[in-house]
């Protein structure tokens, strides 16, 4: 009878340990982690080939991940051209065409979001 009580007590102790329940005191502080955004695609490629000092693999991957969350693939392809031809971006920005104006609003929202999340 004593052996079965010991086995049950041992199994209960192992079960509690596996649950991760602990005391309110911990000698190590938990460090909150922020997910790292990274993706590849047309924005990533254009960013990396743009020749800017700040165009690290991590930063370009982040701006691509933000683009994936907020821009269509057509918008991404169109905007990727801005990295090699900034004049093209200026032409779209000042255009009176309604399609350009809508695109520019989406691009501006995307770039503001990428600046917040990737710096």
User: Is 71 part of any domain?
Assistant: yes
Mean pLDDT of the chain: 80
User: Does residue 104 belong to any structural domain of this protein?
Assistant: yes
| Residue 89: half-sphere exposure toward Cβ, Cα within 13 Å | 16
Is 75 part of a structural domain of the chain?
Answer: yes
Q: Tell whether 6 is covered by a domain.
A: no
Residue 70 lies in a domain: yes
Nearest to 62, CA basis, from 37, 79, 45: 37
pLDDT at position 101 over 90: yes
Within-domain flag for 94: yes
Please state whether the predicted TM-score (pTM) of the whole model is above 0.75. Answer: no
Q: Does the pLDDT of residue 3 top 80, yes or no?
A: no
Tally the domains of the chain.
1
Give residue 99's domain range. Answer: 42-118
């Amino acid at each position: 009878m004593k052996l079965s009580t010991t086995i049950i007590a041992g199994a209960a102790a192992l079960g509690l340990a596996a649950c991760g329940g602990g005391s309110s005191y911990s000698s190590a502080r938990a460090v909150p982690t922020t997910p790292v955004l990274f993706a590849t695609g047309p924005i990533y490629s254009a960013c990396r080939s743009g020749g800017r000092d700040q165009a690290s693999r991590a930063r370009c991957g982040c701006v691509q991940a933000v683009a994936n969350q907020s821009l269509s693939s057509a918008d991404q392809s169109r905007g990727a051209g801005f990295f090699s031809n900034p004049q093209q971006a200026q032409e779209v920005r000042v255009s009176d065409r309604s399609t350009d104006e809508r695109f520019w609003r989406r691009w501006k929202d995307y770039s503001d979001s990428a600046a917040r999340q990737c710096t």
